[in-house]
Chains A and B, each alone.
Chain A
Amino acid sequence: MSSSAETIQDFAGRRYQAGFITDIESDTVAPGLSEDVVRLISAKKGEPEWLLDWRLRAYRHWLTLTPPTWAHVHHPPIDYQDISYYSAPKQKQKLESLDEVDPELLRTYEKLGIPLLEQKMLAGVAVDAVFDSVSVATTFKKKLGEMGVIFSSFSEAVKEHGELLRKYLGTVVPYTDNYYATLNSAVFSDGSFVFVPKGVRCPMELSTYFRINEARTGQFERTLIVAEEGAYVSYLEGCTAPQRDENQLHAAVVELVALDDAEIKYSTVQNWYPGDEEGKGGIYNFVTKRGACRGDRSKISWTQVETGSAITWKYPSCILQGDDSVGEFYSVALSNHRQQADTGTKMIHLGKRTSSTIVSKGISAGHGVQTYRGLVRIAKSAEGARNYTQCDSLLLGDRCKADTVPYIEVQNATARLEHEATTSKISDDQLFYCMQRGLAAEDAVNLIVNGFCKRVFRELPMEFAVEAQKLLEVSLEGAVG
């Protein structure tokens, strides 16, 4: 009987496939964090005074904080003085076309199977590629520009749309929010800025590939997306990272703002290096993502497929302020080997008749540890609010772990909440049934896992869904022999 348990353990034993290091000369600041470093980053980026002030306020606040300890994750203390806070590929000139991009860099994308520009253009996707911390290529800008849509790197937006950015920056995730968000506010390197003006439906999926490449360079991305009244935008974020021997810290902040009748769809496929089979060397992913449904009838939808990182600490949330606003969270998280994931969402209902949906699918294999942590809060003001929550955990093998920690706070008696949770194992019966139809054990597991995740995959844009499915397969390869 142990044979299927064993095979599932074997299956969990595949190596990370995107592990390699690109050799590009980097403009890297020596490790360490101080007010001077914050000033240096700001100066290197030629930022205005107000932004430097904001960074410094964040830095000073950060000094008063201690790292949070409530999550079910364990790691040695991080030495923040041992991290370099700025790194940029040495390319000074602005690029006009793909030909001007460093070929080494393009090869990196190729290895990852990321069709950078041409292919994406054909597919109708504009790509703002973040290589380490500075954007090296931006496309479709012109076409978007004609519609009044701004899609640019954060640094560029600071220069060209300073006032707009200033109006929204930190209004969803204030610099005092939490340890990692505060750190990010002080030292953020770059990221993306999207602005979709009133009534405009962004004609293409906006996509950014993040990539961590500099040893000991923490990545501190900052993304801000604003959809004005009646606007719509779908944003894709995907990442992979090269194999490393030491832990890399990633503390990103994403802020979304949706005004009346606006809709923002934010999809993530995350595949950072998870560490080796002993958990050595993976990425620490401590991310703060939050969206504000400020306007009436606005909608924010988070979809995430999290397969990478040694530690994931991430709770994409919605503040449902506007009446009749809608928040959604669809998540697939996989923990294999020694990966730890503490992830979930917060749905804060403030407006009348606000509704939220949470669908979380956690998969644990090997010695993976997985926690769903979610908060649904119905404020006094939220007349007639509704929430539906479904949390399912799937266990592969008998050495992994899954926990569900739902918090529910209801202050208005008219609220209606539903919560469903299941934990299941891939059963020997299911595996045998599939194999009796001719499927190899590995294919059978993939099929079962994909079925388990279908409800979430359905929320991803088509091509992304295919990538996500592949990624899940690669992440589970070798788990059944």
Chain B
Amino acid sequence: MLEIDNLHARVGDTPILKGLTLTLRPGEVAAIMGPNGSGKSTLSYVLSGRPGYEVTEGTVRFDGQDLLAMEADERARAGVFLAFQYPVEVPGVSNKVFLKAAVNACRKARGQGELDAYEFLKLFEDKRKLVGMGKELASREVNSGFSGGEKKRNEILQMAMLDPKLAILDETDSGLDIDALKAVSEGVNALRDGERAMLVITHYQRLLDHIVPDTVHVLVDGRIARTGGRELALELEERGYDWLKAEAAA
């Protein structure tokens, strides 16, 4: 469902991705690991269409469509979801209002009817419970004054509401204590349904104790340096990234 072929991208004059190739099947949960500066976050922004990230070469096909030709909002409506490493605050806008607008924009684009207030609230309650969020977060302003853990859980709630085909989790574990990490992971696992594909971007293997991936890719200097199963993550935990960096440089 996602085919990335020889992807090159840069930010300003700095090339970051240098020929990245990767495929993802429906339902597959793939971890993208790698040292700092290897291009993990860049990959998530390029896939989600953030302005300022310029693709210089290569293709990305999503569900048979040319993903790179689409605007950020079109990609989102087509089913690409990014759980942000640093979720953004939208002051004065409640979580509910924000999500209702987003859900209905996506539903409309997918040929489903828009939800009325009642249907929306029902869906919201279902998903809120599914990802283990407190009731009070609904009426709070989007990410305003949220703790780090609350922000990350709020991302997972949004993911549950928007029901994407592809979810990209960008360093979802960063800044979380162990309890929050567990809670967030449980939310993510609840959304694994054999259909939804996930790209789990992380620097540390500890997240993968909770969200167990089908595949592990290691990104070094803008390319996939190695692909393996769950055991690859454990190997990295033990040996670090340097040996792969050395291999890639050779």
Contact = CB atoms under 8 A, between A and B. Distances in A.
A331 to B, nearest CB: 15
Nearest to B77: A438
Nearest to B110: A438
A85 B158 CA distance: 58
Given A435-B72, A435-B76, A447-B98, A440 B90 contact: no
A452 B84 CA distance: 22
A454 B84 CA distance: 26
A437 B82 CA distance: 8
A451 B90 contact: yes
Contact of A450 (B49, B84, B93, B102): B93
Interface in A432-468: 432-441, 443-444, 447-448, 450-455
Given A429-B88, A433-B87, A438 B76 contact: yes
Interface string B77-95: 1000110100111111100
B101 interface: yes
Interface residues of B, number: 33
A451 B89 CA distance: 11
A370 interface: no
Given A437-B98, A438-B102, A447-B98, A432 B109 contact: no
Contacts of B101: 439, 443, 447
A430 B90 contact: yes
A1 interface: yes
Contacts of A428: 51-52
B51 A432 contact: yes
A64 interface: no
A3 interface: yes
A87 interface: no
Nearest to A2: B51
B75 to A, nearest CB: 8
Contacts of B90: 430, 433-434, 447-448, 451
B82 A436 contact: yes
A4 interface: yes
Nearest to A455: B92
A435 B88 contact: no
B212 interface: no
A438 B92 contact: no
A336 B83 CA distance: 34
Nearest to A441: B73
B114 interface: no
Chain A's interface size range is 20 to 34
A4 B92 contact: no
Contacts of A444: 73
B56 to A, nearest CB: 16
B93 A448 contact: yes
A450 B73 contact: no
A443 B50 CA distance: 17
A1 B99 CA distance: 27
Interface string B56-84: 00000000000000011101110001101
Contacts of A451: 90-93, 141
A78 B247 CA distance: 78
A319 B50 CA distance: 51
A322 to B, nearest CB: 34
A432 B77 contact: no
Nearest to B99: A437
A418 B76 CA distance: 43
A3 B48 contact: no
Contacts of B106: 438
B142 to A, nearest CB: 8
A447 B158 CA distance: 17
B105 interface: yes
A433 B109 contact: no
Contacts of A429: 88
B197 interface: no
A453 B92 CA distance: 8
Interface in B30-54: 48-52
A444 B76 CA distance: 13
B162 interface: yes
Interface string A165-207: 0000000000000000000000000000000000000000000
Contacts of A452: 91-92
A11 to B, nearest CB: 14
Contacts of B84: 433, 436
Given A428-B51, A443-B105, A451-B141, A435 B73 contact: yes
Contacts of B109: 438
Contacts of A453: 92
A427 B162 CA distance: 23
A451 B98 CA distance: 10
Contacts of B82: 436
Nearest to A434: B90
A401 B84 CA distance: 32
24 contacts: A428-B51, A428-B52, A430-B88, A433-B84, A434-B90, A434-B98, A435-B72, A436-B76, A436-B81, A437-B76, A437-B99, A438-B102, A438-B105, A440-B73, A441-B73, A447-B90, A447-B93, A447-B97, A450-B93, A451-B90, A452-B91, A452-B92, A454-B92, A454-B93
Interface of B: 48-52, 71-73, 75-77, 81-82, 84, 87-93, 97-99, 101-103, 105-106, 109, 141, 158, 162
Given A432-B50, A435-B71, 12 more contacts: A1-B52, A435-B73, A437-B99, A438-B109, A439-B73, A440-B105, A441-B73, A444-B73, A448-B90, A451-B91, A454-B93, A455-B92
